[in-house]
Structure 1
Amino acid sequence: MKAKVPRELDIAVIDDDESFRTALVESLSSLGFGASGYASAAEYISSLAKTSFDCVVTDIHMPGMSGLELMKWLKARGSTIPVVLVTAHTEENLEGRAASAGAVALLRKPFEIDDLIECIGRRLQN
């Protein structure tokens, strides 16, 4: 059974790959979600004073702060926002590190938008 995901969710997409980030924001927006893109974790963090999100989708491997480091930063500040990690890389124990950091899921690029929506929906039902 597919998880129901409220379309009024605001989702932050953080990825240094501009074409991927733009495509994902456009896909989410076309499905009725609020979606904003950020080129780095630092850019996302600077937006938090004026914007709040229901979910974060972030690349793991980015210049500066990585997706895993962003998760630690958010957690240290008491955030309970669900985070979905994405990556094009294969590394030993990446799934384990993502899970221990508290990620909702780890998706490998390229992935289907339905897979992302399903991950978010499962988290919201828990």
Structure 2
Amino acid sequence: MSHHPLVSIVDDDESARRAMANLARSLGWRVQVFDSAEALLLSGAFDDVQCVISDVQMPGMTGVDMQDRLIERGVKLPIIFVSAFATDTLRQRAYANGALCFLTKPVDGAVVARLLDSIGHAA
């Protein structure tokens, strides 16, 4: 395993996915990207992952539903959710399931940097 932490980024919006990946790489993280929650779940690539950054509202499965599926599989990872249209119900559900943070789009890169830094030092 590399000494650089690994983050999985899940977002159906290619430009948002690319921007978040570039930010994480600039902070020294290895990155794997997925264009849907289903793609992440199908990958089964969770062993080295220290964090997931996921959009909430995506076609098909939502990010919060993905979190439920991960928990059902016994995969407990810190998840940073990002959303432009988050409801209080979704926020409460995500936090009840252990979400690390729930950010509103557009995301402040400095906030993401602080969160990833805290996770990376704990890994």
The answer for the alignment partner of 1:26 in structure 2 is 22
Tell me the CA shift for residue 76 of structure 1.
0.7
In 2: Cα distance, 1:50 partner to 1:27 partner: 21
Cα-Cα RMSD: 2.2
The answer for the alignment partner of 1:15 in structure 2 is 11
Q: Which runs of 5+ in 2 are unaligned?
A: none
In 2: Cα distance, 1:28 partner to 1:71 partner: 21
| Paired residues of 1:104 and 1:123 also in contact (CA < 8 A) | no
- SS of the equivalent of 2:33 reads strand
- SS of the equivalent of 2:9 reads strand
Q: Which runs of 5+ in 1 are unaligned?
A: 1-6
Tell me the CA shift for residue 113 of structure 1.
2.0
In 1: Cα distance, 2:5 partner to 2:114 partner: 14
**Same amino acid, percent of matched pairs:** 30
The answer for the alignment partner of 1:3 in structure 2 is none
Deviation string for 1:85-120 (max 9, x for gaps)? 110114244432221121111011111222123234
| Paired residues of 1:82 and 1:123 also in contact (CA < 8 A) | no
The answer for the alignment partner of 2:60 in structure 1 is 64
**Number of corresponding residues:** 119
The answer for the alignment partner of 1:55 in structure 2 is 51
The answer for the alignment partner of 2:33 in structure 1 is 37
| Structure 1 residues 80 and 41, CA gap change in structure 2 (3 angstroms) | same
Deviation above 3 Å: which 4+ runs of structure 1? 49-52, 122-125
The normalised TM-score by structure 1 is 0.82
Q: Does 1:75 pair with 2:71?
A: yes
| Paired residues of 2:41 and 2:70 also in contact (CA < 8 A) | no
